[in-house]
Amino acid sequence: MSEPLLRVEAVSKRFGGLLAVDAASLVVEAGGITGLIGPNGAGKTTLFTLVSGFEKPTTGRILFKGRDVGALAPHERAALGVARTFQIVQPFAGLSVRENIAVGAHLRHPRRDDALGKAEAVAERVGLADRLDAPASGLTVVGRKRLELARALATEPELLLLDEVLAGLNPSEVRDIVPIIRDLRHSGVTILMVEHVMQAVMSLCDTVYVLAQGRMIAEGPPAAVTRDPAVIEAYLGHGAAARLAAREAAHG
Amino acid sequence: MFSPDIVIAAVLNGLLTGAVYALVSVALTLVYGVLHIINFAHGAILTAAMFAAFFAHQAGIDPLLSVLFIAPAFFALGYAVQRWIIGPASHGDDRNILLVTLGLSIVIENVLLAAFRSDTRSIDVPYGFSVVDLGFVFLPMPRVIAFGVTCVVAALLWALLTRTDTGKAIRAVAKEKLGASLVGIDVTHIYAVTFGIGAACLAVAACVLLPSYYVNPRVGTAYVLVAFTVVVLGGMGSVPGAMIGGLLIGVVESLSGLYFGESLGQLGIFLIFILVLLVRPTGLFGARA
Amino acid sequence: MTGPVNTSPRTSLLAAYGPILAVALVLALLPLATTANTVLNAMVLALLIALAGQGWNILGGYGGQFSFGHAVFFGTGAYAVALLQSRLGLNAYLAFGAAVAIGAAVGAAIGFLSFRSGLRGSYFALVTLAFAEVFRIVANASPWTGGASGALIKLDMRPENFQFASRATFFWIALALVTAALVATRMMERSRFGAYLVAIRENEDAAKALGVNTFRVKLQAITASAAVTAAAGAFYAQYFLFVDANIAFGTWISVEALLVPIVGGLGTVFGPLIGALALHGLAEATKALAGRLPGADLALYGALLVLAIAFAPNGVQGLFNRLKGGFSTRRAA
């Protein structure tokens, strides 16, 4: 098999006395959607900040298309084709939706008119076409999530890192966004997503990695991973897997 | 080279000056630690307090006595300014707060200039030229008094912050504003109290400075730039850092004045300031962010 | 404080640059209406401040990096133009160009040091303030800059020396400089650089994630900003044929440079010009009313700064637009 798009090799990140990520490894194959799940505080967002370059790993290597990008700044990784969204959305509040997206589009389109044109096309894809001239500060929660997605997409990434784009949305809003993500994959964008909405993870992801207390404890297809006793214990506490199995046996 | 006696005298004099720097800096760092703003009106408030002490002396009250009412008056003034001007005017935006305090400093300084012109005034007190004889060095009495008063204020401040409910509330707000407001602390009130304490400290500094110094509408600027340096050196928001930093800068200034002459002594402070900002903006004693 | 939404998409060249040329043309007629030296002098000063403020506006208004020490660039321009002529015998126009370049270089150096250290907000304001003070103390003490007595440009009133008998000529030159700065600012607004700069003001981390080299953009912004403010300083020295440290590197110019865009409209093309005309109009009026009380005009400026932030976060233009918006909504209702 050829070199994967992203390879994270035994990466650790230490903040003072806290080992937030502990020798975690993962592989993202081109063209797929890979999920990264785990209990709160597992280090998922930290791992994202390492892949996107906002923090540098304490040890370990991050390879994008076979190239070690561990020392590159975020904007250099964006130029190579790695885009991210933020869990807490970070709109340019004083700018319009169009101008927000155009900032991303400028990465590949130096001319203002081209960038604004690209922004309109991207807005269409994420369902913001009718809000182009609205100020970003006036968007609803789901609107801001769409904007976060649109700006990242406008950089024309090969790898898109989605940090909980579905968090805080109601079920009908989730149903609106999920097809957009699926559509992105069909257009050739590879996605690595941190997500808590399990239903979306199950339906979208080909492969899921599970991070708990900074360590990668499981990987595989979503259905298999959610049955993994180690994963159940990580979420529900020590002995939970055994109790669940016993209860199932009793009912069955 | 200078004889050891002269160097020791310069160090001691530097410590005496440094104590006043420390007091001015503690006020600045306290406000920064709690409100997370740099109060650019700090120097102007000091100048205003020195004018207050000056006119109290004209009315026959020694600064060491007038401090007893000027300090409370400045507490009230500081409280009011934060609560009813800086707070509402800045809409909670950090950049606005910077500009509002800058605007206030320009207003205070120039109103003083319009009212009292740029004349430099000083006062005569009976102890103005007394000295304390340590055997090998004479120290000017007014500055020894200033040093003593600073120590007393530092002790009072420490007691206030650690022993009283208000002090605990101040520290709570400094650490976690949202959490403090959730447990029922009135953050707006605490902000104003902190600003008031800062102004009161400046009033004390003004009263102990005046007997050995002079006052004109721009006198505060020199002190506030030193205080900025001290606060950055000691770590923004750190009260012990400001105390140590103040003494240190006092000594550095005194020694560089001895070796390089007066006007370049001030230049030394700015160069240290820029260097610290660029190399270690969290301060010599602060943790790396 | 954030600027209003600008850089409206794909506006025509006429819509983008027409208003600038119209304003320039109207102002250019002023010397035909009056020959009173006091009026022209006041106008030259207002334009000078508008230019200095336009420089500040690039970095502060568009980039969100608030400098409290733009006097360092103003003073560098002023001293450079004076010393290059008096010490090195350079032609006045060459000296002017060199002064702008030296100002830009000082801006780049300060920007490199500050932004590489990651200074923002209060820290950036402090470090710029300190740099201005260092330059002031050195200029005031060094014999090369003329020490406390300042530097003179030799009076030799000939056009080839950038010295004119008529105030009107200086007025037109100042107007041309301001117009050039307005056009350059508009071009910046319509460019990728401008979009990146505004993105940094709004959210630096988000800008990084979208591929913006924030360090480089801020460095370019402070360099351009310093060049424009240095041009104002150089013009000042050429106009008065004299500089000293407390004027050139004084707090007053740092304050006015930031005040006029804030009063007129932060991060807008016309903000500094509107602010400068409004402030100087007001200052002249108070002078007429209150006489020449020292400090009265600065006290007024300080109060205006506080009031502008409290009640008109988008400046005079924003206030005007809000009123206009209020009327049109009422009409629609």
Q: What is the percentage of chain C residues whose pLDDT exceeds 90?
A: 54
Is there a single domain that holds both residue A91 and residue A32?
no
Domain boundary among A137, A156, A175: A156
CA distance C330 to chain A (A): 21
Window 191-230 of C: residues touching A by CB (8 A cutoff) are: 191-192, 195-196, 198-199, 201-203, 205-214
Q: What is the percentage of chain A residues whose pLDDT exceeds 70?
A: 99
Q: Is residue A39 part of a domain?
A: yes
Q: Establish whether this prediction's ipTM goes over 0.90.
A: no
Q: ∠ at Cα B248 (B243, B254), nearest 5°?
A: 130
Q: Do C198 and A78 touch (CB under 8 A)?
A: no
Q: ∠ at Cα A149 (A146, A153), nearest 5°?
A: 135
Domain boundary among A156, A175, A196: A156
Calpha distance C148→C246 (Å, rounded): 9
Which residues make Cβ contacts (< 8 Å) with residue C81, sequence separation at least 6? C92, C95, C96, C98, C99, C153, C233, C234, C237, C238
Closest residue, chain C, to B236 (C-alpha): C123
Query: For chain B, what is the mean pLDDT?
Result: 86
Of A92, A94, A116, the CB nearest to C206: A92
Statement: residue C322 has pLDDT above 80: no
Q: What is the pLDDT of residues A138-162, one digit of tens each?
A: 898 889 999 999 999 999 999 999 9
Q: Is residue B207 part of a domain?
A: yes
Q: Is residue B286 part of a domain?
A: no
Q: What pLDDT score does C333 carry?
A: 29
Q: What pLDDT score does B258 carry?
A: 80
Confidence band for C329, pLDDT divided at 50, 70 and 90: very low
Q: Is residue B115 part of a domain?
A: yes
Calpha distance B235→B229 (Å, rounded): 10
Strands A207-212 and A33-37: parallel
Q: Is residue B287 part of a domain?
A: no
Q: What pLDDT score does C2 carry?
A: 42
DSSP C147: G
Confidence band for C332, pLDDT divided at 50, 70 and 90: very low
Q: Is residue A177 part of a domain?
A: no
Question: What is the average per-residue pLDDT within C259-280?
Answer: 91
Q: What pLDDT score does C5 carry?
A: 44
Which residues make Cβ contacts (< 8 Å) with residue C16, sequence separation at least 6? C186, C190
Q: What is the pLDDT of residues B91-132, one digit of tens each?
A: 877 778 888 898 999 899 989 998 888 888 888 888 878 888
Is there a single domain that holds both residue A74 and residue A91?
no
Q: What pLDDT score does B120 carry?
A: 87
Pick from A72, A100, A103 the residue to mutate for testing the C interface (most C CBs within 10 Å): A103
Query: For chain C, what is the mean pLDDT?
Result: 87
Region of residue B53 (phi > 0: left; psi between -120 and 50: alpha; otherwise: beta): alpha
Q: What pLDDT score does B56 carry?
A: 94
Is there a single domain that holds both residue A68 and residue A133?
no
CA distance C43 to chain B (A): 24
Q: Do B104 and C1 touch (CB under 8 A)?
A: no
Q: Is residue A175 part of a domain?
A: no
Dihedral sign (CA A56, A60, A63, A66): positive
* Structural domain of A59: 1-78+159-164+186-252
Is there a single domain that holds both residue A58 and residue A100?
no
Residues of C with Cβ-Cβ distance to B91 under 8 angstroms: 309-310, 313
- Greater model confidence, C301 or B190: B190
Q: What pLDDT score does B156 carry?
A: 92
Beta strands in B90-220 (DSSP E): 131-133, 138-140
Residues of C with Cβ-Cβ distance to A93 under 8 angstroms: 2, 202-203
Q: Do B105 and C302 touch (CB under 8 A)?
A: yes
Q: What is the pLDDT of residues A158-168, one digit of tens each?
A: 999 999 888 88
Q: Is residue A125 part of a domain?
A: yes
C2 touches chain A (CB under 8 A): yes
The first and second tokens of residue A91, run together, are 């709109």
Q: What is the pLDDT along chain B (289 residues), one digit of tens a residue?
A: 678 888 888 889 889 989 999 999 999 999 988 888 788 899 999 999 999 999 999 999 999 999 999 999 999 999 999 999 998 888 877 778 888 898 999 899 989 998 888 888 888 888 878 888 887 788 888 889 999 999 999 999 999 989 999 999 998 888 888 888 888 889 999 999 999 999 999 999 999 999 888 898 888 877 877 888 888 888 878 888 889 989 988 888 888 778 777 666 667 777 878 888 787 766 655 543 3
Residues of B with Cβ-Cβ distance to C131 under 8 angstroms: 274
C43 touches chain A (CB under 8 A): no
DSSP conformation letters of C148-165: GG-EEPPP---GGGT--S
Do the beta carbons of residue A99 and residue C195 sit within 8 Å? yes
CA distance A117 to chain C (A): 10
Q: Is residue A176 part of a domain?
A: no
Confidence band for C202, pLDDT divided at 50, 70 and 90: very high
CATH number of domain containing A196: 3.40.50.300
Do the beta carbons of residue C230 and residue C80 sit within 8 Å? yes
Domain count of the fold of chain A? 2
Burial class (CB in 10 A: 0-12, 13-18, 19+), C171: buried
DSSP A135: B
Of B85, B98, B100, the CB nearest to C66: B98
Q: Is residue B134 part of a domain?
A: yes
Q: Do A103 and C212 touch (CB under 8 A)?
A: yes
Q: What is the pLDDT of residues A58-115, one digit of tens each?
A: 999 999 998 999 899 999 999 999 999 998 888 998 899 999 999 999 999 999 989 9
Is there a single domain that holds both residue A20 and residue A45?
yes
Statement: residue C327 has pLDDT above 60: no
Domain boundary among A140, A156, A172: A156
Question: What is the average per-residue pLDDT within A211-231?
Answer: 85
Block residue for tokens 């006290």: C299
Closest residue, chain A, to C213 (C-alpha): A75
Statement: residue C163 has pLDDT above 90: no
Q: What pLDDT score does A87 carry?
A: 87
Is there a single domain that holds both residue A52 and residue A87?
no
Q: Do B38 and C298 touch (CB under 8 A)?
A: no
Is there a single domain that holds both residue A90 and residue A144?
yes
* Structural domain of B163: 4-279
Domain count of the fold of chain B? 1
Query: 3-state secondary structure string, C225-288?
Result: HHHHHHHHHHHHHHHHCEECHHHHCCHHHHHHHHHHHHHHCCCCCCHHHHHHHHHHHHHHHHHH
Statement: residue C290 has pLDDT above 80: no
CA distance C269 to chain A (A): 16
Statement: residue C177 has pLDDT above 60: yes
Phi, psi of A71 (to 5 degrees): -95, -5
Calpha distance B160→A110 (Å, rounded): 58
Q: What pLDDT score does A89 carry?
A: 87
Is there a single domain that holds both residue A67 and residue A137?
no
C10 touches chain A (CB under 8 A): yes
Q: Is residue A180 part of a domain?
A: no
CA distance C26 to chain B (A): 33
Calpha distance A205→C173 (Å, rounded): 66
Closest residue, chain A, to C196 (C-alpha): A103
CATH number of domain containing B242: 1.10.3470
Query: For chain A, what is the mean pLDDT?
Result: 88
Range with top average pLDDT, B26-40, B226-240, C220-234, C290-304: C220-234
Of B38, B110, B264, the CB nearest to C122: B38
Statement: residue C73 has pLDDT above 70: yes
| Confidence (pTM) | 0.86
Statement: residue A134 has pLDDT above 50: yes
Is there a single domain that holds both residue A72 and residue A89?
no
- Greater model confidence, B258 or A117: A117
Q: Is residue A212 part of a domain?
A: yes
Q: Is residue A173 part of a domain?
A: no
